[in-house]
Structure 1
Amino acid sequence: MDAVNNVIVQISDVVWNYLLLFLLVGTGIFFTIRTRFVQVRRFKTAWMRVFGGFSLKGKKAGKDGMSSFQALATAIAAQVGTGNIAGCATALVSGGPGAIFWMWLAAFFGMATIYGEAVLAQKSKKRDENGEVVGGPVYYITHVFKGGFGRFLAVFFAVAVILALGFMGNMVQSNSISDAFYTAFAIPRWAMGLVVALLAAFIFLGGISRIASFTEKVVPVMAALYLCGALIVLIMNIGNLPSAVASIFVGAFCPRALAGSAAGMTVRMAMRYGVARGLFSNEAGMGSTPHAHAIADVKDPEEQGEVAMIGVFIDTFVVLTMTALVILSSGVLDEMIDAGTTGTPVAQAAFATGFKGFGPKFVAVCLLFFAFSTIIGWYFFARQNVKYLWGAKAVLPFSIIVVAFVFLGSLLKVELVWNLSDLFNGLMVIPNLIALLALSGVVAKAAAEFRKK
C-alpha cells in the first residue's frame, strides 16, 4: 500500500506542480489577451452586478435554476474553503511570503479563465428529463468535440469530478472539521462527524432550492465573520503590517533579502507553491464552479461571466490575502518553518497572537463554515455529473453515499485517499482546459459583442 501511495504522490506532484501549473496560468494569460483584459475592463460593472441587488433571501431556486447571486454564492462556497486557511499557511511555510504575490498573479489571470468557463457553461446548459436546468463542462465538452472523443472526454471529466469532489474531496473537508474541533474543543471526532453528516443530509435531500437558500445566507455571513476576526488581529498587530506587506514583494523576487527562516526560500519555491495553492483555492480553470454558474437565471451569458470573476477576486484577493497578512504580521512564520509545522495550526498560532486562547477556537469555527460550505458546493458539482451519466434517478442514492463518506472522513485519514483526491482534482482539469481552449473564439466573440451592447 505504501508503494502505491508513493506512486500516486509522484504522479500528483508532476500533474499539479509542473503540467497544470503552466497550463492553468497559460490558459489564464491566453483568455486575458483574447477578452482584452475583461477582468480589468468589466471589474466595476461586475462588482455592481453582484452587490447592487445583494440579498440574503433571494427568489426560491427551482427548475429554471438559481438567481445570479445564488449561483455565485454556491461557487464561492466551494472556492472559499480550507485552502484559504490551511492552504494559505502551507504556501507560506513552503514558499515563503513571496508565494502570496504569485497567488495574486495566478488569480488575476484566473479571473479571465473563469469568465470563459461561466460564459460557455451558460451557452451550453440544457434541461434534464424532469425539466430542470443542468449545465457544466460536460456539456460544452461534448458541444465542441463531437462523437466518441467528446463523449470520452466528458465521461472522464464527470467520473473525475464525482470521485475527486463528491467522495474523496468531501472526506478531506469533514476530516478537517473534526480535527479542528477535536484540537480546539476536545469534541470527539465521531460526534462532530455525525453532526456534519446529518446537516449535509438535510441540505442534500432538499435539492437545488435548499442548496441555493443555504449558500446565499451562509456564504456572506461566514466571510464577514472571518474577515472581521482577521481585521481585529491585524489592527492589534498594526505595527508589523507594513513589513508584512513588504515581505510579500521582497519574497517574490529576492527572498534572500528576508530575515529569518524565510530567507532560505527561493523564487522558484515561492512561485511554485503560490501558484499551485492559489489555483487550488480559487478553482479557476478546474471546471468545478461552471456547474453553479451554468444554472444562473440571467439574460445574457456574459453577465454571469462577469459575476464569476468576482468569486475569484473574493476568494484570493480578499479572504486568502487576509489570512496571509494575519500570519505574516503575527511573527509566527519563522517559528513554524523551523518547527516544520504547516496547515491549520499555523493560522491558529497567528490568530492566537491577537485572540490568545480564543484564537484556535475562532479558526476552528471559521473552518467549520468554510469546510462545510465546500462540502455543499462540491456535492452539487458532483451531483450535476451524476445526472449527466445516469440521470435524475441516481441523485438520491448518490446523496446517501456522499453522506456516508462525509461521516467516514471525519474518523479516518487514509493517506492514499487524500492523495487520490489531489490527483483526480488535477486530472479533471485536463479535459476542461482542452475544451476551453478549443472554444476560446466563442468566448472572445461573446465578450466583444457584449462590450458593444
Structure 2
Amino acid sequence: MLDRLTQLLWGWHVLLLLLGAGAYFTAATGFYQVRCLGRWLGAALASRGKGKGEGGKLSSFQALTAALAGSLGTGNIVGVGVAIATGGPGALFWMWASALLGMMTVYAENVLAARHRQAPGALGYIRAAGRWGKPLAAVYAGGCCLSSLGMGTMAQTNSAAASLSTLGVPAAASALALGLLAFWVARGGLALGAKITQRLVPLMTLLFFGASLWVLWVFRENIPRAFASIFQGAFSLKAGAGGAAGALLALRTGVSRGVFTNEAGLGSSAFAYQGVEGRSPEELGCLGIFQVFVDTLVMCTVTGLCILCCRSPVLEGGQLAFYAFESALGPWGGRVASLCTALFALATLVAWCCWGREGLFYLTGGRGRIPYALAAGAAAALGCLLPLGTVFQLGDACNGLMALPNVAALFLLRREAAGVCRRGGEGAFQGEARKKVLGKIP
C-alpha cells in the first residue's frame, strides 16, 4: 500500500512535472540563470553585508543560509554515492541537468513568495492561485508538516547518529542531544533557526569543500578520467539495448537525486525569505538560483568527483564517499566525512523544523507550537534508534504532497513569475509595461 502511494505521489510523472516547470521558466526568461550569471552571483555575495535582520526580521544572509541548510543534507554526501552506485557515473551529469532547470524553479518560487505575502513562504502564492488555491495550500501545509517529521527530522538524525557512532558517540546520546535540539528549534521558530544556520552552514561548507579539494589533489591524475566517465555514462549507447538501459537508469537516478537534494519544486526554501525586507522579488529569486548552484553544481559535484577519482571496490552507495576520503586522507579522512555528514544532517534538521512549524501554524491558525515541538523532538530521537526504510518511503510521499500543489500554483502564476525577469530584472513591474511583458509570455 505504501509503495503504491509513494509511486503515485513521487513517481516519474512528478519528477517530469518538476523538470517541466524548470524548463518552462528557463525558456520563458531566455536562460536567465546563464544569461544573468553575474547578477545572481552578485546578489548572493552582497547578501553577506546587506541588512542586519533588525526588529525580528532576517537579513538576506540569514535567509540564504537557512535555505541552504534545508537543501544541504546527507544527500550531498551519502546520496551522491547512492546515485553513482545505482545509475553509474552518468547520473552525475543528469544531476547537473536537473539543477540547471531547478535554478529557475526556485527562482520562480522565491519571486512569487515575495509578491504574495498573505501567508508564509510558498503558501502565499499557492493561496493566490485561483479558485483552487486554498485547498491546494491546505494540502501543501499538511505535506510540509509531515515531511518535516519524516525526511526532515527522522531521516536526518538517523544518518547523523550513524556518523557520530563512528566517532565514538553512542546512539542513545545522539538521540537525547538531537531530540532536545529539535524541540528547542521547533519551539523557537525561524528566527532562532536562522541564528544557528548563519554560523553552521558556512562552517560545514568550508570544512567539507576543503577536505574534498584535498582528496581531489591526491587523486588529481584521475580527474580527466572521472569527467570522461560522467559524459560516457550519460550518453553512451555502445552496448546496444543494454547500453540504452544503462543510460536511462543514469538519467532516472540523476534526475531523482538532483531534485531530492536541491528541493527545486517543493517550495520549501521560500519559507526562509518570508522575513527579509529591503530586497526586490528578483533579488530573492537570485538567491534561490545561488542556493541550487551551491547545493548541486558545487557540493554534489565535488563529492561525485572524489568518488570517481578514487578506484574504490564494489561498495554500497553510502560507503563510496567515505572510502574516497579514507583512501586519500587516511583514518582522519573517514572522521572528517563522518563529521560533515552529521553537520549536514543537523543543518537540515534545523531548517525543516522551521518549515514544518509554518505548515502546522497555517492549518491551525498559529496554534500548536508546543505539541509540534514535542513531536519534532520525539521524531528526532526515534530517528537515531529505528531502521528507516519505511520512513523514507513515507517521506517521499509527503514530498509529493508538497510538490504537486506547488507545481500547480507555479503553472497558474507562470506569467507573473516569468515576467519579473523577462523585463530585464527590474523587480516589480506596473501598468502598461506589465501588460506588455505578460502579453508576450504564453
Check if 1:123 corresponds to 2:115.
Answer: yes
Verify: 1:250 aligned to 2:232, yes or no: yes
Deviation at 1:439, TM superposition (A): 0.3
Residue 378 of structure 1 corresponds to 352
Partner SS, residue 48 of structure 2: coil
Aligned counterpart in structure 1 of residue 331 of structure 2, from 340, 353, 357: 357
8 Å CA contact retained: 2:109, 2:410: yes
1:346-404 deviation per Cα after TM superposition (whole angstroms, max 9, x unaligned) = 21111111112222211110011100000011111111111211133322321222011
Equivalent residue number for residue 291 of structure 1: 271
Return 91-100 or 166-175, whichever deviates more: 166-175
What is the match of residue 59 of structure 1?
52
In structure 2, relative to structure 1, the CA distance for the partners of 1:201 and 1:229 (3 Å cut) is same
Q: How many positions carry a matched residue from both structures?
A: 425
C-alpha contact (below 8 Å) 1:16/1:276 kept by paired residues: no
The one-letter amino acid of 1:226's match is F
Contact 1:98–1:255 (Cα < 8 Å) also in 2 = no
What CA distance in whole angstroms lies between the structure 1 residues aligned with 2:54 and 2:5? 40
Q: 2:41 aligns with which of 47, 55, 71?
A: 47
Q: 1:283-306 CA deviation, whole Å, 9 max, x = no partner?
A: 111121111123322331111001
Contact 2:282 2:425 in 1 (8 A): no
Is 1:111 the counterpart of 2:103? The answer is yes
* Cα RMSD after superposing both structures: 2.1
Alpha-carbon distance in structure 2 between the residues aligned to 1:14 and 1:449: 38
User: Where does 1:47-446 land on structure 2 (aligned, <5 Å)?
Assistant: 47-54=41-48, 59-60=52-53, 62-63=55-56, 65-126=57-118, 135-146=120-131, 149-182=132-165, 184-254=166-236, 266-332=246-312, 335-336=313-314, 339=315, 341-343=316-318, 345-446=319-420
CA distance in 2, matches of 1:234, 1:263: 29
**Contact 2:150/2:394 (8 A) holds in 1:** no
Distance 1:180 1:23 in 2: 34
Please give the alpha-carbon distance, in whole angstroms, between the structure 2 residues aligned to 1:342 and 1:119. 36
CA gap of 1:167–1:249, structure 2 versus 1, over 3 A, is: closer
Verify the 8 A CA contact 2:186 2:372 in the aligned structure 1.
no
Q: Is the 8 A contact 2:185 2:353 kept in 1?
A: no
| Cα distance between partner residues in 2 of 1:290 and 1:61 | 20
Contact 1:96 / 1:265 at 8 angstroms: preserved in 2? no
Cα offset, 1:226, TM superposition: 0.2
Distance (Å, rounded) in 2 between the aligned partners of 1:140 and 1:27: 16
Question: Which position in structure 1 is the counterpart of 2:434?
Answer: none
Secondary structure at the counterpart of residue 278 of structure 2: coil
The alpha-carbon deviation at position 58 of structure 1 amounts to 6.4
What's the secondary structure of 1:411's corresponding residue?
Answer: coil
- Counterpart CA distance in 1 for 2:229 and 2:39 is 33
Indicate if the aligned counterparts of 1:136 and 1:290 stay in contact, CA closer than 8 A.
yes
Which moves more between the two structures, 206-215 or 237-246? 206-215
1:85 offset after TM fit, Å? 0.8
CA distance in 1, matches of 2:174, 2:198: 24
Residue 162 of structure 2 aligns to a residue whose secondary structure is helix
| Equivalent position SS for 1:393 | coil
CA distance in 1, matches of 2:163, 2:344: 12
How far did residue 16 of structure 1 move?
3.3
Identity %: 36
Equivalent pair of 2:189/2:354 in contact (CA under 8 Å):
no
2:4 paired with 1:29: no
Judge conservation of contact 1:91–1:274 (CA < 8 Å) in 2. Answer: yes
What TM-score, normalized to structure 2?
A: 0.91
Equivalent position SS for 2:23: helix
Using the size of structure 1 for normalisation, the TM-score is 0.89
Task: Tell me, yes or no, if the aligned pair for 1:165 and 1:425 is still in contact at 8 Å.
Answer: no
**Separation of aligned partners in 1, 2:362 and 2:149:** 14
CA contact (8 A) 2:150 2:392 kept: no
Instruction: Give distance in 2, aligned partners of 1:408 and 1:197.
Output: 8
Whole-angstrom distance in 1 between the partners of 2:426 and 2:146: 42
CA distance in 1, matches of 2:264, 2:421: 18
Contact 1:28 1:109 survives alignment (8 Å): yes
Q: Shift of residue 423 of structure 1? A: 1.5
Match of 1:131 in 2: none
CA drift at 1:198: 2.3
Contact preservation (8 Å) 1:21, 1:275: yes
Bigger CA drift: 190-199 or 371-380?
Answer: 190-199
Q: CA 1:163/1:328 → structure 2, altered by over 3 Å: closer, same or farther?
A: same
Question: Which letter does structure 1 place at the counterpart of 2:330?
Answer: K
* Cα distance between partner residues in 1 of 2:142 and 2:32: 32
Q: What code does the residue aligned with 1:118 have?
A: N
The letter of the residue matching 1:434 is A
Structure 2 letter corresponding to 1:227 = F
Task: Determine the structure 1 residue equivalent to 2:439.
Answer: none
Distance in 1, matches of 2:349 and 2:272, equals 14
Name the SS of the counterpart of 2:198 in structure 1. Answer: helix
What residue ranges of structure 2 are gaps of 5+ in the alignment?
A: 428-442
